[in-house]
């Protein structure tokens, strides 16, 4: 099933200069915007102390902070569905600027806003509102980027392009991790609590302005331009067409997104908290391991992208999810038994295998036709993220209360779900 343009001789070539520029600018811009969304996680403990009552039990303060983080996920579908609707009808590029502004401004505001000690309960309420706005923004940004890049590159390079783009999103996580690491080296814990914590958020707002400038150089996708010229744009509500004709594709996309969520939120974002809070690693060691694992995950995204173009998306995804499950079992079972060196190597290998999450978008690109592609990807991705992304950290925290490696009891079943969804994708779409 080929939902992209019919391949011509020109499309069999490597990427053109314009294709490469589009891919690089989209990836770098996505990295800066994703940084704005995830920097919150790196400072969850600090925010829990500053934006909630001082006498609140630390466990409940952290849980409340993660709950506000979850609110960003719960509002992703709203942004994704609304932005995707107009993206399928009016164009992909126009949504980029809006999503950037809705991401960057709340990040900047968070870096400047007063804490609980100054404005009381208004502080957590404002924090919640800012995360809701960011959730709407990121809900439109990521599906837009995947759709935008996939419609710019040749058919035979869709896997590579999506792997490269997703590695760019991971670069945003890496940037956040490196800044958090730099902060711990340059400032004491007291200094960070006294105001240095604002620096990463203010930087995020400035990064957003840079992203807005970069996106001004991008052009509308050839696929959308061709549909507009041929009057092939959706004639009815894209979401209506999606839900009436593509239920199976939506279900597969949601299951794959569930696996992607676990790779990002549990294995990458939340790992420093587990390493420092449960297994006694220093903050510096934890952030160093996380940074290296993210680099390996970025390399993995690109590697799986090339494999998807050569072996097929379904086969590459199925094998990759299986390898992720094996490495997760080895890594988590080794925590508490070995020192920094062994755990670092295992975490690097785990990060590499989780790069398979980088081709989830390539699978979804092939499942939806161009007229409703933005809506299809956005709905599948954002609904799944709203359902499972929002409850993941609280659920893992609950599992950790029963076992130091409670997270593995979430990851392993998720890998089995990923294997099953990959096999169904191969059977249904022959890709």
Q: Could you write out the three-class secondary structure of 2-23?
A: CCCCCCCCHHHCCCCHHHHHHH
Long-range contacts of 228-231 (CB under 8 A, 24+ apart): 228/91
To which residue do tokens 């019919």 refer?
Answer: 6
The Cα diameter of the chain in Å comes to 68
Q: Are 300 and 355 contacting, i.e. CB atoms less than 8 angstroms apart?
A: yes
Each of the 431 residues of the chain gets a pLDDT tens digit; together they read 444 544 444 444 466 777 777 777 777 777 877 787 778 777 877 888 888 787 777 777 767 777 776 677 677 777 777 776 666 666 566 676 777 788 888 889 989 999 988 998 898 888 888 888 888 887 777 887 888 788 778 888 899 999 988 898 888 878 887 888 888 889 998 899 898 999 999 988 888 877 777 767 666 555 555 555 554 455 567 788 888 899 999 999 999 999 999 998 899 888 988 999 889 899 889 988 988 998 999 999 999 999 999 999 999 999 999 999 999 999 999 999 999 999 999 999 999 999 999 999 999 999 998 888 888 898 898 888 878 876 888 889 889 888 999 999 999 999 999 999 999 999 999 88
d(CA 206, CA 387): 31
Question: pLDDT tens for residues 340-364?
Answer: 999 999 999 999 999 999 999 999 9
Measuring CA to CA, which residue among 188, 199, 252, 174 is closest to residue 429?
252
pLDDT for the residue numbered 93: 64
Question: pLDDT tens for residues 97-144?
Answer: 777 788 888 889 989 999 988 998 898 888 888 888 888 887 777 887
Task: Give just the sign of the alpha carbon dihedral 395, 397, 400, 406.
Answer: positive
Q: Which two tokens stand for residue 14?
A: 């490597």
Q: Which two tokens stand for residue 417?
A: 């779900």
pLDDT for the residue numbered 428: 93
Q: Residue 382 in 3-state DSSP?
A: helix
pLDDT for the residue numbered 10: 43
Q: Are 146 and 164 contacting, i.e. CB atoms less than 8 angstroms apart?
A: no
pTM: 0.80
Report the number of secondary-structure helices (H) and strands (E) in the chain: 21, 0
Q: Where are the alpha helices (DSSP H) in 91-157?
A: 94-112, 116-119, 122-150
* C-alpha radius of gyration, the chain, whole number: 21
d(CA 181, CA 169): 19
To which residue do tokens 């600027």 refer?
Answer: 97
Q: Which two tokens stand for residue 284?
A: 């510096």
pLDDT for the residue numbered 281: 92
d(CA 308, CA 301): 10
d(CA 362, CA 151): 11
Task: Give just the sign of the alpha carbon dihedral 246, 419, 357, 137.
Answer: positive
d(CA 57, CA 100): 36
Q: Are 96 and 153 contacting, i.e. CB atoms less than 8 angstroms apart?
A: no
C-alpha distances out from residue 38 to 91, 105, 197, Å? 27, 15, 14
Q: Which two tokens stand for residue 6?
A: 């019919």
pLDDT for the residue numbered 163: 92
pLDDT for the residue numbered 314: 95
Task: Give just the sign of the alpha carbon dihedral 54, 58, 59, 61.
Answer: positive
d(CA 368, CA 251): 12
Q: Are 56 and 121 contacting, i.e. CB atoms less than 8 angstroms apart?
A: no
Q: Are 313 and 425 contacting, i.e. CB atoms less than 8 angstroms apart?
A: yes
Q: How many beta carbons lie within 10 A of that of residue 64, not counting itself?
A: 18
Look at phi and psi of residue 25 and say left if phi exceeds 0, alpha if psi is from -120 to 50, else beta.
Answer: alpha
d(CA 328, CA 286): 17
d(CA 372, CA 46): 42
d(CA 206, CA 190): 25
The domains located in the chain, with CATH, are 16-429 (1.20.1250.20)
């Amino acid at each position: 099933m080929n939902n992209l343009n019919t391949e011509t001789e020109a499309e069999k070539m490597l990427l053109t200069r314009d294709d490469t520029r589009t891919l690089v600018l989209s990836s770098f811009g996505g990295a800066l915007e994703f940084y704005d969304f995830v920097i919150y996680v790196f400072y969850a403990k600090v925010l829990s102390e500053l934006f909630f009552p001082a006498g609140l039990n630390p466990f409940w303060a952290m849980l409340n902070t993660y709950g506000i983080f979850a609110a960003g996920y719960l509002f992703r579908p709203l942004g994704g569905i609304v932005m995707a609707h107009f993206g399928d009808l009016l164009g992909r590029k126009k949504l980029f600027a809006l999503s950037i502004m809705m991401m960057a401004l709340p990040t900047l505001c968070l870096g400047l806003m007063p804490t609980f000690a100054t404005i009381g309960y208004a502080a957590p309420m404002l924090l919640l509102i800012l995360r809701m706005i960011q959730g709407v923004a990121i809900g439109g940004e990521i599906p837009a980027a995947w759709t935008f890049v996939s419609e710019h590159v040749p058919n035979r390079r869709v896997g590579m392009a999506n792997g490269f783009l997703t590695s760019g999103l991971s670069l945003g996580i890496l940037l956040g991790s490196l800044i958090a690491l730099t902060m711990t080296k340059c400032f004491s814990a007291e200094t960070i609590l006294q105001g240095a914590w604002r620096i990463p958020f203010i930087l995020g707002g400035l990064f957003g302005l840079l992203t807005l400038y970069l996106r001004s150089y991008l052009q509308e996708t050839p696929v959308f331009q061709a549909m507009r010229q041929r009057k092939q744009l959706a004639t009815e509500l894209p979401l209506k067409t999606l839900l009436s004709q593509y239920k199976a594709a939506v279900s597969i996309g949601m299951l794959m997104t569930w696996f992607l969520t676990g790779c990002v939120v549990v294995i990458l974002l939340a790992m420093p908290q587990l390493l420092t809070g449960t297994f006694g690693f220093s903050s510096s060691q934890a952030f160093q391991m996380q940074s290296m694992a993210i680099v390996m995950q970025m390399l993995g995204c690109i590697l799986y992208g090339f494999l998807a173009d050569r072996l097929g998306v379904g086969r590459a995804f199925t094998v990759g999810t299986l390898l992720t499950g094996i490495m997760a079992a080895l890594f988590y079972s080794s925590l508490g038994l070995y020192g920094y060196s062994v755990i670092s190597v295992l975490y690097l290998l785990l990060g590499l295998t989780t790069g398979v999450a980088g081709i989830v978008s390539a699978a979804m690109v092939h499942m939806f036709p161009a007229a409703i592609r933005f809506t299809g990807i956005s709905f599948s991705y954002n609904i799944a993220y709203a359902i499972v992304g929002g409850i993941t950290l609280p659920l893992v925290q609950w599992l950790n209360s029963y076992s130091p490696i409670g997270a593995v009891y979430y990851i392993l079943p998720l890998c089995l779900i990923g294997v099953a969804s990959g096999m169904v994708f191969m059977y249904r779409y022959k890709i």
